[in-house]
Structure 1
């Protein structure tokens, strides 16, 4: 298995990055490839999961071990494949997801694309108690569950508004990392911040 790849980021696409390792270009699928925008043409280390299917071999990439570990755990849940797991990682930080599983927060889990009530319950059934041993939830940005949910929902609503304004998924993905750092849960404020960032790009 390929545990990680260290090389120069030469190209960023909507759903992947190309990393040059001694003249060989590896295509690595990522939840949000644009988090590597600041490392373009620089050497990076990307943690990888080597997914082997009958018809293809795919590399999935992550910025840290926590994201990779959560990805591999999600693949063990019935009803969640690599694309679904990647979509989840692209919408939330690891700590918040672990906290949601531990408190059996169905509403939070069903906010993710492709995750219905049945799959959310399966996630809780399969993963509760199994994530905290390998992932730290002590660095949660918020300790109040309501604030966590409101922030997540505010970000989701802001993304929908940006799409309605005509921004592409590629453009929106470039500003998601910065928006996730915002402490506010107010949708309007998140949209204003996003527009400000988009105009700078």
Structure 2
């Protein structure tokens, strides 16, 4: 088990980060990679989950152990794979997700890519009453803002959302509202997800 990777953040893509340590670049798939933008070209520590299957091996990266723990709880649900778990985490609305599970709100859960009614029901059955640790603070807090052009930020956010499984039809519905705002990439992603979860 690889518990974390510590090194220089050399690349940020819509679906992953690349952290270089000892001459090796580790590709870390994560929810909303642009949350790490402020740390580009700096030494960072990324908590990881080493996902291994017979024909599939990936490293997933997280801001902290609490976020990884929620990812692992979601993975424990039958019918949810890593991509589905990341899509839920990318919303950054931990309290809202936990609340939806507690009140058995299948409609909200099915708004995430790859989660149908059957899987939403399974999430509720498996996790209801077991997520008290995730309601006190948001997992997605950014201390400092990096300066980028608005159009680039929005374009990067839309690419990251596509990497999570959202389609153009869904994104176009919220894009009109997003262009009116001047946000960082990670904030555009959270705002877009908040708008899509409301509809």
Cα distance in structure 1, aligned partners of 2:160 and 2:180: 15
**Number of aligned positions between the proteins:** 157
Aligned to 1:153: none
Structure 1 SS opposite 2:46 = strand
Aligned to 2:37: 37
Q: For 1:114-129, what aligned pairs fall within 5 Å after superposition?
A: 114-129=114-129
Aligned to 1:56: 56
User: Runs ≥4 in structure 1, deviation > 2 angstroms?
Assistant: 91-96, 170-175, 187-191
Structure 1 SS opposite 2:37 = helix
Scaled by the length of structure 1, what TM-score is found? 0.70
Structure 2 SS opposite 1:197 = coil
Aligned to 1:3: 3
Give the superposition deviation at 1:3: 1.3
Cα distance in structure 1, aligned partners of 2:121 and 2:66: 22
Cα distance in structure 1, aligned partners of 2:35 and 2:160: 7
Which sections of structure 1, spanning at least 5 residues, go unmatched?
Answer: 141-166, 176-186
Q: Cα RMSD over matched residues?
A: 2.4
Structure 1 SS opposite 2:111 = coil
Structure 1 residues 62-108: Cα deviation after superposition (integer angstroms, max 9, x where no partner):
11222211110111111111111111111233232122211212121
Scaled by the length of structure 2, what TM-score is found? 0.70
Task: Provide closer, same or farther for how the CA distance between residues 45 and 95 of structure 1 changes in structure 2, counting only shifts above 3 A.
Answer: farther
Structure 2 SS opposite 1:36 = helix
Give the superposition deviation at 1:59: 0.2
Q: Is the 8 A contact 1:32 1:173 kept in 2?
A: no
Give the superposition deviation at 1:191: 4.4
Determine whether 1:192 maps to 2:180: yes
Which sections of structure 2, spanning at least 5 residues, go unmatched?
Answer: 139-153, 162-173, 185-199
For CA contacts below 8 A with separation 6 or more, give which structure has more relative contact order.
2
Q: For 1:122-161, what aligned pairs fall within 5 Å after superposition?
A: 122-132=122-132, 135-139=133-137
Structure 1 SS opposite 2:180 = helix
Give the superposition deviation at 1:32: 1.3
Q: Is the 8 A contact 1:29 1:59 kept in 2?
A: yes
Task: Provide closer, same or farther for how the CA distance between residues 125 and 171 of structure 1 changes in structure 2, counting only shifts above 3 A.
Answer: closer
